[in-house]
Amino acid sequence: MNGIKMNILVTGGNGQLGTSIRERTGSHPDWRFSFYDLPELDITSEAQVEAAVRSTECGAIINCAAYTEVDRAESEPEIAYRVNRDGAAVLARCAKAAGALLAHVSTDYVFNGSACRPYTETDLPDPPGVYGRSKLEGELRIREIAPSYLIIRTSWLYSLHGRNFLNTMLRLGAERERLDVVFDQVGTPTRASDLAGAILSMISGVKPGVKYAGIYHYSNEGVCSWYDFATAIMRLKSFPCMVRPIESSGYPTPAPRPAYSVLNKEAIKTDWGLDIPHWYDTLADQLTTHQANQSSS
Ligand SMILES: NC(=O)c1ccc[n+]([C@@H]2O[C@H](COP(=O)([O-])OP(=O)(O)OC[C@H]3O[C@@H](n4cnc5c(N)ncnc54)[C@H](OP(=O)(O)O)[C@@H]3O)[C@@H](O)[C@H]2O)c1
């Protein structure tokens, strides 16, 4: 597909990752992107996905649609499974029928968090919560059905759009003098824009006629706790808010969280030649954009 015009269908196009892909379309003038989201395209509706695939004549589908309410999934598992497992299966069947590549995004929450070194793609998943189990089931359906797929597991996604840790910290940092944040959950933040760039770069590296069957890990480089992440945001924004490290037992949540979910990215770097920014550098860059947006509004 190198240098060849291609139509790309993006599902979940209004979410954080979908929006970040939308912001990068200018870098790929040869491709025609079609962005869909609820209510016009529900990935659990075979008829809607079939119609969108047919009308866009897409060579690749990027699935950014997901049920992402990690805590709420514990009390409404049927919705989480319907979207994350059954929706993934619908996309896989439609990609198969159209002969399209399916690029699908999954999560570090497929791991139980008991490791003490970064998770590789061959480590055994063992999701502790409904969200992670539903995402793992989605991965399995795609691997069973889709003749050509790339599954990209990521972690701690943030952007300036939607609900995420960065936006929560920007709000609370401006309001509060003190904030308690857990220090015993360790992972890596991932800027949605960086992940969007990585996915598009992978698609541009796809070779015509080749069938792909790959699972890859992608996050920004480096390791931190949520406490470190919050502290970095406060410092970079010069908020006077003091961040205090607390144990997870002091911040109970309905869904269990992995204590350690750092992803090993050697495979994606080797196979796709990606250069991945460090989480702190890309956060600083994101906050410069945030500052510029605030100054111009
Ligand atoms: N956020 C994270 O920290 C994180 C971490 C690791 C992996 N991931 C994975 O990364 C991917 C992108 O996440 P994100 O943060 O961009 O999620 P997001 O902001 O929640 O966006 C998901 C989008 O999918 C839409 N959607 C929900 N159900 C749908 C359905 N049945 N059919 C079509 N669209 C539907 C949502 O619409 P509504 O808003 O109207 O529901 C939303 O626009 C997901 O696969 C997620 O599992 C996320």
CA of 66 to the centre of ligand 1 (A): 4
φ/ψ of 204, rounded to 5, equals -70, -20
CA separation for the pair 101, 210 (Å, rounded): 10
* pLDDT tens sequence across 75-128: 999 999 999 999 999 999 999 999 999 999 999 999 999 999 999 999 999 999
Q: How many CB atoms lie within 10 A of CB 2?
A: 10
Distances (CA, A) of 30 to 6, 7, 21, 34, 148: 7, 9, 15, 13, 22
Residue 18 tokens, joined: 């979908």
Identify residue 3 by its one-letter amino acid code.
Answer: G
Residue nearest to atom 7 of ligand 1 (CA): 107
| Ligand 1 contact via 84 beta carbon (within 6 Å) | no
CA of 167 to the centre of ligand 1 (A): 16
Residue nearest to atom 41 of ligand 1 (CA): 67
Which atom of ligand 1 is closest in space to residue 20's alpha carbon? 16
Top mutation candidate among 157, 161, 165, 217 for ligand 1, by most atoms within 8 Å of CB: 157
CA separation for the pair 183, 148 (Å, rounded): 39
Alpha carbons within 13 angstroms on the beta-carbon side of residue 214 total 19
* pLDDT tens sequence across 114-159: 999 999 999 999 999 999 999 999 999 999 999 999 999 999 999 9
Alpha carbons within 13 angstroms on the beta-carbon side of residue 201 total 16
| Ligand 1 contact via 43 beta carbon (within 6 Å) | yes
Q: Is the pTM of this model over 0.95?
A: yes
| Ligand 1 contact via 261 beta carbon (within 6 Å) | no
Would you say residue 2 has pLDDT above 70?
A: no
CA separation for the pair 95, 148 (Å, rounded): 8
* pLDDT tens sequence across 224-262: 999 999 999 999 999 999 999 999 999 999 999 999 999
CA separation for the pair 296, 186 (Å, rounded): 35
| Ligand 1 contact via 157 beta carbon (within 6 Å) | yes
Would you kindly state where each structural domain of the chain is located, as residue ranges? Answer: 6-162+190-221+262-277
Residue nearest to atom 30 of ligand 1 (CA): 42
| Known catalytic membership, residue 131 | yes
Which atom of ligand 1 is closest in space to residue 44's alpha carbon? 31
CA of 69 to the centre of ligand 1 (A): 9
CA separation for the pair 145, 90 (Å, rounded): 9
Angle formed by the axes of helices 165-175 and 279-296, nearest 10° = 60
Burial 102-119 (b: 16+ CB within 10 A, else e): bbbbbbbbbbbbebeebb
Q: Does domain 6-162+190-221+262-277 have CATH number 3.40.50.2300?
A: no
Task: Give the rounded distance of the alpha carbon of 220 from its chain centre.
Answer: 12
Residue 60: closest CA among 98, 5, 8, 24? 8
Would you say residue 5 has pLDDT above 90?
A: no
Residue 162: closest CA among 10, 12, 14? 14
Structure confidence at residue 292 (pLDDT): 86
Of 131, 149, 218, 260, which is the active-site residue?
Answer: 131
